[in-house]
Every structure is written in C-alpha cells, then in structure tokens.
C-alpha cells in the first residue's frame, strides 16, 4: 500500500531541495529520518516535516507499522515563482526570482 504527503509552495528552490530528496529514495523510514535530522540544510528540515506527515498518514489512516515503511519516492517539483525587482544603476531595474517548490513523498510497505 502506498501513502503520500505533499507540501506545496515551500520557499526554497527545487534545485537545492533535490539534493536531499535524492538521498531519501529507497531508504527505510528510520534511515531517512536520521538523514533528515542530521543534515544542516534548510531543505532537510522541510523534507523532514513532509516525511513525518507521510508517516503519520500511514499510521493513522491505513494502520501501517512505522518500522515496515520504505521511502518509495521523494520528488521535488517546481512551484510558482514570485518576481520582484531591485533598482539598479542609471534608473534601470533587475529581476529577482523568488523560487518555490512542491515536495512529494510516497511511502510503501513493500518494495
């Protein structure tokens, strides 16, 4: 059985969050939580919240045991980009892109 958790519009670029997401795929939940807790990156904290949400969904909604779960997929998609402008020299302006992303974690009890 597959269980998922989704976090949308998180203020981190998808490229930065994908580094941690690649580490989680194929790991058991216990190993994935250890990776997320020990990593100093912002993406690790955000993916950790999503991972804990997926674990809670599995335990409460589907009566699955936490020790049997495996991270099947950890996908980071591109979200909407907020566009801002910063004044530059001689009356011009440059664009600043504030990127967001969507975090998807799928857990399964059999791999």
Q: Domain boundaries in the chain? A: 2-108
pLDDT in tens, 40-66: 999 999 999 999 999 999 999 999 999
3-state secondary structure of 58: helix
Q: Are 5 and 53 in contact (CB under 8 A)?
A: yes
CA angle (64 as vertex; 61, 67 as ends), nearest 5: 140
| Adjacent-strand bridge partners of 44 | none
Backbone phi, then psi, for 103, in 5-degree steps?
Answer: -105, 125
Q: What confidence tier does 110 reach under pLDDT thresholds 50, 70, 90? A: confident
Percent of the chain with pLDDT over 70: 99
Look up the CATH architecture of domain 2-108. Answer: Alpha-Beta Complex (3.90)
Could you tell me which residues are beta bridge partners of residue 93?
87
Span 89-111, average pLDDT? 94
């Amino acid at each position: 059985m597959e269980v998922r958790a989704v976090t949308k519009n998180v203020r981190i670029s998808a490229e930065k969050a994908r580094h941690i997401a690649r580490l989680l795929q194929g790991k058991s939940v216990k190993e994935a939580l250890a990776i997320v807790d020990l990593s100093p990156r912002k993406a690790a904290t955000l993916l950790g919240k999503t991972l804990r949400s997926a674990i809670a969904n599995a335990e409460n909604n589907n009566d699955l045991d936490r020790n049997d779960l495996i991270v099947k997929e950890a996908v980071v998609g591109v979200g909407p980009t907020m566009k801002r402008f910063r004044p530059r020299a001689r009356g011009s302006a440059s664009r600043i892109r504030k990127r967001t992303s969507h975090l998807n974690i799928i857990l399964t009890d059999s791999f």
